[in-house]
Structure 1
Amino acid sequence: MSYFDFDALQIEDRKMHEVKQLSLQLAATQASLLIVGEAGVGKTSLARYVYGKSRSPRLYCLDCKNPAGFDFGRIDGGTLLIEDLDCASTALQNELMRLVERTDGTRPRFISTSRRDVRAMVKQELFRQDLFYKLAVVHLEIPRLEDRVSDFPVIVNFILEVAQIMHGKTGLRLSPEAYARLNSWSWAGNIRELENVLERAVVLAKSSMIQPSDIQFEVAVEDLELDFAPGMSLSEVEKRLILQTLELTAQNRTRAAQMLGISIRTLRNKLNEYKEEGVL
């Protein structure tokens, strides 16, 4: 999915509102723009929004994670969207610098996205300083979804409508309990994660009312080594699962409780038990 109509969204969050207004102001210019933010916050959507509001005749897209086959020679003005600028190799940075220095009228307008602080990369000599100054005339930082509390209901409704269109459904609504389940999650994957969860809920919904059971979160367990073995008691399995989930979440009890499907109070009681046993 990963598309947002910023004109259709009634943005309430102050910081995001400022980002949108500055985007509109910049759209009519040729200023190079760097959009930064965590994975999944909507950097590419905002970049395409700026391009859509500009008078640029064409858009070229360069993925710095996978630049193989990209032909710099075909660029003739327009706008170049550079995704994941922080992943650009030295060779790719050199190619971009040659493009920046063009004087034959084929130099494009540059809009870049990055998850990392490119300024810090410059200081660490991981990124060319001269290229940074050319590509980052203006910075826009998109806040995390978790920090956009006032925008959350609007974003949920927008994604829900788009997901229904995609899957040929209409009239679906979230039950209060389902919405509360969504609202309690910390959204480490930001809007992209929310899209994933809501699209799955639309597909799974058995009636017009989406229930909490339709809201299923993806739990990242690839780094979790579960040392369970046949013959272990259920209480021991439970203890190891709780402690290893806490380790996975860097001791974030709220997130661990969410992942385990228990209340924070239950988790707290379990941890108190383990302390009495001398485990913690």
Structure 2
Amino acid sequence: MDTILVVDDEKNYLLVMETLLAGAGYEVFTADSGETALELTRRNDLDLVVTDMKMPRMSGIELLEQLKQVYPDLPVIMMTAYGTVEKAVEAMKKGAFDYILKPFKNEEILLTIAKALELRHLLTENRRLRHDLEQRHRFDNIVGNSKAMQSIFAVVEKVAQTRATVLISGESGTGKELIARAIHHRSPRNQGPFISVNCGALTETLLESELFGHEKGAFTHAVAMRKGRFELAEGGTLFLDEVAEMSPGLQVKLLRVLQEMEFERVGGSRTIRVDVRVVAASNRDLKTEVGAGNFREDLFYRLNVVHLAIPPLRQRTDDIPLLVTHFMQKFARVNNRGDIRLDPEVMKILLRYPWPGNVRELENVIERAVILCSGDTITIADLPPNVAEAPETEFNIDLLVPQHIPLPEALDTIEQLMIRRALNQSGYVQVRAAELLGITKSLLQYKLKKYQITN
């Protein structure tokens, strides 16, 4: 049942409105002043306010202004006499839904109220759908609605609850560490630490000390005992990034830890046992590295209990609009900018660019554009020259549709991509999107429902 607050300093109007609205099936509250109305609004979950314009102490416009500051989506209908129509128009500019002239006809005010409540319900439903959409598209700060990413999220949900070692592969910038963090945050170990180490950033000696720690005097400048990353990750997760860069000697020591969950610090003899879950990542194909003799086969199988292959951005272009929106909102907020929009021509460029740096490169491009755009719209001039001037890439079916996908599934994938592109180019105006696709609006709406595509 919808709840309506009626505000008027004339008791007769309050009685008339209460009788009328209660008879129409609404729950009704009444207030004879703006102050009382604000108090009732704070104490009750209201769907609509109907207020007189002219009241002592606090006018209807003043009440409207205060309500909109706290409850911006709460619709307000103004009641006014003929002599204050200009004030009513002013109120609508300040956010009132509509105004009604006194004396009013019952049918007229009931119709206006029904329209206002319909808007209220649409806003509430839209907010709920957007929240659901964000929950589906964002997975521990990872944005993606493509089938490839949804499959990865599903595996993460399953593997997170286990102790299994996970190997994440993918090009630089695809978000391997974000996936590792998602595994940790959704696991029973989420109260423990998440410790990360880049195996390609340190020499063999430094990496050994970083992983296993060292005793005082173990080497020059070792002036005190220091715990390694394995000890610091006790009860949690250790993320080994770029594990393919490990030397053969360190690979042997890592294999022992994975098998026995024990090690000695550098320069020490005491065996230390740990309870750590290991997640490793590499931008190289470890199986190829094994074949080339650069990586131990036994260590590969220890790490590769569960394998997650993160696709490059060029193979999941239907995620680009979501990522762009996410990054625009993020950097607009960080840089104290208002709402930022995207010129449709810019989206065309972003969709065709091959993104060699993957999501990380896209994030940097959008951050730069948000900072440099002079108005509230990102234009081509705000893009880096290498992106804005990138030539059209030659069509490659393998980039659009991975091999071994059945034809019906491939056709569905292409159709979804074309629909999303048309929606972005048309600013989500369905009539225009249908024209771009060469189909009717009703057919487009059918396909939007079929593929569960929303704004």
* Aligned counterpart, 1:126: 294
Output the CA distance in 2 between the equivalents of 1:217 and 1:46.
31
1:181 shift after superposition: 2.2
Q: 1:24-103 to 2 correspondence within 5 Å?
A: 24-56=157-189, 57-67=192-202, 68=206, 70-73=210-213, 74=227, 75=231, 76-103=234-261
TM-score (norm 2): 0.46
| Residue type at the aligned position of 2:212 | F
1:103 shift after superposition: 4.5
* Aligned counterpart, 1:269: none
Q: 1:1-280 to 2 correspondence within 5 Å?
A: 5-6=138-139, 11-56=144-189, 57-67=192-202, 68=206, 70-73=210-213, 74=227, 75=231, 76-103=234-261, 105-218=273-386, 254=392
Question: For 1:157, what is the secondary structure of its paired residue?
Answer: helix
Question: For 1:193, what is the secondary structure of its paired residue?
Answer: helix
Output the CA distance in 2 between the equivalents of 1:5 and 1:167.
22
Residues 30 and 109, structure 1, Cα contact 8 Å, conserved in 2:
yes
Residues 138 and 144, structure 2, Cα contact 8 Å, conserved in 1:
no
Residues 196 and 241, structure 2, Cα contact 8 Å, conserved in 1:
yes
> Greater CA deviation, 8-17 or 172-181?
8-17
1:77 shift after superposition: 3.8
* Aligned counterpart, 1:262: none
Output the CA distance in 2 between the equivalents of 1:253 and 1:196.
20
Residues 170 and 311, structure 2, Cα contact 8 Å, conserved in 1:
yes
| Residue type at the aligned position of 1:202 | V
Residues 77-120 of structure 1: CA deviation (Å, up to 9, x unaligned): 42110101121222331331232133565141111111111011
Residues 197 and 217, structure 1, Cα contact 8 Å, conserved in 2:
no
Alignment CA distance shift 1:36-1:144 (3 Å): same
Residues 232-275 of structure 1: CA deviation (Å, up to 9, x unaligned): xxxxxxxxxxxxxxxxxxxx96359xxxxxxxxxxxxxxxxxxx
Residues 141-182 of structure 1: CA deviation (Å, up to 9, x unaligned): 111111112221111111111122222223111111222222
1:13 shift after superposition: 1.3
Q: Percent identity?
A: 33
Alignment CA distance shift 1:118-1:166 (3 Å): same
| Residue type at the aligned position of 2:315 | D
Q: Which has the higher contact order (CA 8 A, sep 6+)?
A: 1
Residues 41 and 190, structure 1, Cα contact 8 Å, conserved in 2:
yes
Q: CA RMSD in A?
A: 2.4
Output the CA distance in 1 between the equivalents of 2:358 and 2:246.
23
Output the CA distance in 1 between the equivalents of 2:358 and 2:169.
14
Flag structure 1 segments of 5+ consecutive residues without an equivalent.
Answer: 220-251, 257-280
Output the CA distance in 1 between the equivalents of 2:342 and 2:175.
23
Alignment CA distance shift 1:218-1:94 (3 Å): farther
Output the CA distance in 1 between the equivalents of 2:380 and 2:146.
27
1:9 shift after superposition: 6.2
Residues 219-238 of structure 1: CA deviation (Å, up to 9, x unaligned): 8xxxxxxxxxxxxxxxxxxx
Runs of 4+ in 1 over 6 A off after TM superposition: none
Alignment CA distance shift 1:101-1:196 (3 Å): same
* Aligned counterpart, 1:248: none
Output the CA distance in 2 between the equivalents of 1:35 and 1:203.
33
Alignment CA distance shift 1:156-1:107 (3 Å): same
Residues 167-220 of structure 1: CA deviation (Å, up to 9, x unaligned): 22231111112222222211111111101110100110111111110011458x
Residues 99 and 107, structure 1, Cα contact 8 Å, conserved in 2:
no
Alignment CA distance shift 1:125-1:65 (3 Å): same
Q: Which has the larger radius of gyration?
A: 2
Alignment CA distance shift 1:166-1:39 (3 Å): same
Residues 33 and 137, structure 1, Cα contact 8 Å, conserved in 2:
yes
Output the CA distance in 1 between the equivalents of 2:385 and 2:328.
16
In the alignment of these two chains, the number of paired residues is 222
Output the CA distance in 1 between the equivalents of 2:376 and 2:296.
54
Output the CA distance in 1 between the equivalents of 2:142 and 2:289.
34
Output the CA distance in 2 between the equivalents of 1:12 and 1:79.
27
Output the CA distance in 1 between the equivalents of 2:277 and 2:385.
39
Residues 160 and 198, structure 1, Cα contact 8 Å, conserved in 2:
yes
